[in-house]
């Protein structure tokens, strides 16, 4: 199996490289537009290096690509991979404009191409348990969703050699584009509802960077579920996660890695954390799904829907108005 890693200057790329190595997978080649990034990240890798993704694809003919890029370049990167008909995984948010990503997602689906997006919140134990309860018919009608994901100061992106993360033109925005895909996609994933209204407020008062460091979103699903998403770069030390979900049959809360489900019948269900690194979990299962001919855990279509909500949220933050999102047709972007 010939695996390559594109865009190794992205701060996630070293995590993927380590995960592949831990799984015993050799890396056939790497690429990045920056020669400095190729040397810094790939200096210890005994493999070819390319500054052009197209040259990487043409010369190496890989079986699978783990792809990364600045947000503004992600959709073009995905388009290149789809055109080359090579199975791949790309980091979120896969672009900064849903209208540009939509035709790429549609083509990938039409072609039956394995095109995964790293929306890894779907993999957490509490989420998997809730999905199992849905399959058992015990989840009920979802009414309320809340997910808070607070992280540290954004100047770490300068330390990580990705200063473009603080440039609105390259990153699209701040924490909304960075963490928003996880919290928005999870709302849609658990409620099985498309988002029809978005209201958002943002600020950059904590650190004063050009991008927002706090974002508060209110989403309404097509069947009436309300979702609250709060993401930020305001935590003084590391990460803080809190999640809760309410239906007419249960309430659950936790940090996604663990939590408690309380049924209205009085039954209680504890979900315990699992050992391991989530990048390794994602890499291993993504490759396993591809090899088994199964669809990705999350696709470009799912990311298109989440990015549509992000774009609406930024419009709401700019105008101060609630933004309506008419339900799209069923051409495949919901799956």
Of 94, 117, 140, the one marking the end of a domain is: 117
pLDDT at 333 over 70: no
Mapping DSSP onto H, E and C, the string for the chain reads CCEEEECCCCCCHHHHHHHHHHCCCCEEEEECCCHHHHHHHHCCCCCCEECCHHHHHHHHCCCEEEECCCHHHHHHHHHHHHHCCCCEEECCCCCCCHHHHHHHHHHHHHHCCCEEECCHHHHCHHHHHHHHHHHCCCCCCEEEEEEEEECCCCCHHHHCCCHHHHCHHHHCCCHHHHHHHHHHHHHHHHHCCCEEEEEEEEECCCCCCCCCCEEEEEEEECCCCEEEEEEECCCCCCCEEEEEEEECCEEEEECCCCEEEEECCCCEEEECCCCCCHHHHHHHHHHHHHHHCCCCCCEHHHHHHHHHHHHHHHHHHHHCCCEECCCCCCCCCCC
pLDDT bracket for residue 23 (50, 70, 90) = very high
pLDDT at 317 over 50: yes
Q: 145 near 191, Cβ under 8 Å? A: yes
- What is the domain range of residue 33? 3-117
* Residues 208 and 250 reside in one and the same domain: yes
Assigned domain for 283 exists: no
pLDDT at position 68 is: 98
* Residues 21 and 139 reside in one and the same domain: no
* Residues 27 and 130 reside in one and the same domain: no
- Across the chain, what does the average pLDDT equal? 95
Assigned domain for 288 exists: no
Assigned domain for 285 exists: no
* Share above pLDDT 70 across residues of the chain, in percent, rounded to a whole number: 98
67 token code pair: 């792809």
Q: How many CA atoms, within 13 angstroms, populate the side-chain half-sphere of residue 82?
A: 24
Of 50, 85, 117, the one marking the end of a domain is: 117
* Residues 229 and 307 reside in one and the same domain: yes
pLDDT at 334 over 50: no
pLDDT at position 328 is: 62
* Residues 170 and 317 reside in one and the same domain: yes
Into how many domains does the chain fold? 2
* Residues 103 and 128 reside in one and the same domain: no
At 174-206, the pLDDT tens digits run 999 999 999 999 999 999 999 999 999 999 999
* Residues 109 and 152 reside in one and the same domain: no
Q: What is the mean pLDDT of residues 214-225?
A: 97
pLDDT at position 335 is: 43
Angle at 239 between CA 193 and CA 226, to 5 degrees: 20
Distance, CA of 18 to CA of 196 (rounded, Å): 40
At 118-138, the pLDDT tens digits run 999 999 999 999 999 999 999
pLDDT bracket for residue 236 (50, 70, 90) = very high
pLDDT at 326 over 70: yes
pLDDT at 173 over 80: yes
Distance, CA of 124 to CA of 309 (rounded, Å): 22
pLDDT at position 330 is: 45
Assigned domain for 8 exists: yes
Of 117, 148, 166, the one marking the end of a domain is: 117
Assigned domain for 293 exists: no
At 25-63, the pLDDT tens digits run 999 999 999 999 999 998 889 999 999 999 999 999 999
* 54: CATH: 3.40.50.720
Assigned domain for 284 exists: no
Assigned domain for 261 exists: yes
Q: What is the mean pLDDT of residues 145-151?
A: 97
At 254-293, the pLDDT tens digits run 999 999 999 999 999 999 998 878 889 999 999 999 999 9
């Amino acid at each position: 199996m010939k695996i390559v890693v594109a865009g190794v200057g992205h701060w996630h790329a070293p995590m993927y490289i380590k995960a592949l190595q831990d799984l015993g997978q050799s890396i056939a080649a790497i690429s990045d537009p920056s020669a400095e990034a190729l040397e810094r990240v790939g200096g210890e890798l005994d493999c070819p290096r390319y500054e052009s993704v197209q040259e990487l694809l043409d010369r190496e003919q890989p079986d699978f690509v783990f792809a990364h890029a600045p947000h503004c370049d992600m959709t073009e990167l995905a388009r290149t991979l789809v055109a080359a008909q090579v199975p791949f995984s790309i980091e979120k948010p896969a672009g900064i404009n849903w209208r540009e990503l939509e035709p790429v997602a549609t083509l990938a689906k039409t072609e039956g191409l394995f095109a995964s997006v790293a929306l890894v919140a779907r993999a957490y134990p509490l989420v998997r348990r809730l999905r199992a309860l849905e399959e058992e018919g015990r989840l009920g009608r979802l009414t309320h969703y809340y997910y808070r994901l607070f992280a540290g100061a954004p100047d770490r992106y300068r330390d990580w050699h990705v200063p473009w993360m603080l440039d609105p033109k390259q990153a699209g925005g701040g924490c909304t584009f960075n963490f928003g895909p996880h919290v928005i996609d999870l709302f849609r994933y658990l409620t099985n509802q498309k988002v029809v209204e978005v209201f958002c407020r943002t600020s950059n008062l904590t650190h004063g960077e050009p991008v927002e460091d706090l974002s508060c979103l209110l989403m309404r699903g097509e069947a009436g579920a309300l979702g609250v998403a709060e993401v930020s770069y305001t935590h003084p030390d590391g990460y803080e996660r809190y999640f809760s979900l309410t239906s007419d049959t249960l309430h659950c809360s936790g940090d996604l890695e663990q939590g408690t489900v309380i049924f209205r019948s009085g039954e209680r269900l504890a979900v315990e954390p699992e050992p391991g690194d989530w990048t390794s979990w994602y890499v291993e299962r993504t490759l396993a799904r591809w090899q088994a001919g199964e669809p990705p855990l999350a696709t470009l279509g799912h990311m298109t829907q989440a990015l549509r909500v992000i774009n609406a949220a930024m419009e709401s933050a700019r105008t101060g108005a609630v933004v309506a999102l008419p339900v799209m047709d069923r051409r495949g972007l919901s799956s």
